[in-house]
Amino acid sequence: MTGTMLAAVANVVRAELFKGFRKRRFYFLAGLYWVLLPAVALITATVLDHNLGGSFADQGGQIAQALQGFASPFGLARLALMAPALMSPTGYIIAVALFAGLFIGEERTQRMWKTVFSVQPARMAVLTGKVIAGMIVLAVLLGGALIVGTLAGVLGTLFLPTTFAGPWGQVAGLFGLQWLQLLAALLLAYLLVFLVRSGTLGIILVIFLPALLEGLYTVLNTLSVLRPLTRYNAVFQALRLRQAWQALPHYFFNANLYAPARHLLQPFLQSTGTPQGADLGPLGNLLGQGITLPHAAAVMAGYAVVFAAATAWLVARRDVE
């Protein structure tokens, strides 16, 4: 990348952040994520401590252990990472869709592409800058949640039986990994907005399309089990396609995307009494059981490369209306 290109990318990043931080939706989302979640956790912990602390239910300090799990500084930091990944649609994908709407979708709805590409004709610089700006805003959102959660937990130590203890390095690393993996989701959102030529539809698609495709797989998988043996599915099985078909969920977008955030859920469940290795049923799928962090990172890197290449091709070639 030449110096001129780097300067152009830096200009785009600055311009997009100038615009992005003047948008109310960012503060609204950040407010919900940073303040509401710790507030609800602290209120719940206070009620729990007040009503059950020292009671017959608190044999062996179980209440204190539970409070340490979700209302301590570490617990709230962990909750800030996990909670968005357990919503449906997830808080992460909602944030990605909103920022894609801000940085890419809006250019279409406000007919700004002709202006943006006239002012900054280096299209790859524009795309790169918009991706970096999106990642910076996501970093602020996640980093803010980590900091506010921690501070709320510190506040909680004043009136709850909680301490600062916890594997902080791990949770910080998982925040970082989750943030990196959101790059694939952001690129998918940008790609879809470009592809369907509609800001609104692109944003809706990024929330629902991966889940829709993965749901479709589940339906097909179920139907294939019910089907009688024919020469076609005999060939299908002989070619070992079935194994590949069965292994497909390990490469699903959603299962891998949220792997870092959901990684902490199992130790959290253990802290509340669930034995290690227990059959969690449908919850196991939610946790992405069998998907390791390196596997998830590699899969999401693959998605990111594909989405980035497709988006770059579209941005470089498409006529601006």
Partner 1 sequence: MTAIAAAGLTKRYGRVLAVDGLSFSIEPGEIVGFLGPNGAGKTTTLRMLAGLVRPSRGGCRLLDRRVPGPSLREVGTMIEEPSFYPYLSGRANLRHAAILHGGVPERRLDEVLEFVRMERAADKRVRAYSQGMRQRLALARALLWKPKVLLLDEPTNGLDPAGIAEVRAALKTVAVQGVTVLISSHILPEIEKLVERILAVDKGSLRFDGPLQGLLGAVGVNTVSYELEAIDGRALLDALADMGLEPSPHGDAGARVAVPEARAPELLSGLASKGVKVLEARRGAVSLEDAYLRLVGAEGRPS
Q: Which residues bind partner 1 (CB under 8 A)?
A: 4, 7-8, 11-12, 14-15, 18-19, 22-23, 106, 110-112, 114-121, 123, 317, 319-320
Separation between Cα atoms, residue 236 and residue 182, nearest integer Å = 35
- Tell me how far apart the alpha carbons of residues 203 and 201 are, in angstroms, rounded to a whole number: 5
Q: Measured from the CB atom, is 4 or 44 closer to partner 1? A: 4
The nearest distance, CB 6 to partner 1, in angstroms, is 11
Q: Judged by CB, which is closer to partner 1: 157, or 198?
A: 198
Closest CB to partner 1 among residues 18, 164: 18
In whole angstroms, what is the distance from residue 187 CA to residue 131 CA? 7
137 vs 143: CA distance, rounded Å: 10
Cβ closer to partner 1: 100 or 185?
Answer: 100
Q: How far is the CB of 321 from partner 1 (least distance, A)?
A: 9
Nearer to partner 1, 126 or 257 (CB): 126
**Least spacing, CB of residue 288 vs partner 1, in Å:** 39
The least CB distance from residue 117 to partner 1, in Å, is: 6
Tell me how far, at minimum, the Cβ of 162 lies from partner 1, in Å.
42
Answer yes or no: are the C-beta atoms of 181 and 224 closer than 8 Å: no
In angstroms, the CA 116 to CA 12 distance is 10
Cβ within 8 Å of residue 26, ≥6 positions away: 20, 98, 99, 102, 137, 141
Distance, in Å, from the CA atom of 179 to the CA atom of 296, rounded to the nearest integer, reads 13
User: Which of 279, 226, 18 shows the shortest CA–CA distance to 130?
Assistant: 18
**Residue (50 or 114) nearer to partner 1, CB:** 114
CB of 125 to partner 1, least distance (A): 10
Please, are residues 196 and 202 in contact by the beta-carbon 8 Å criterion?
yes
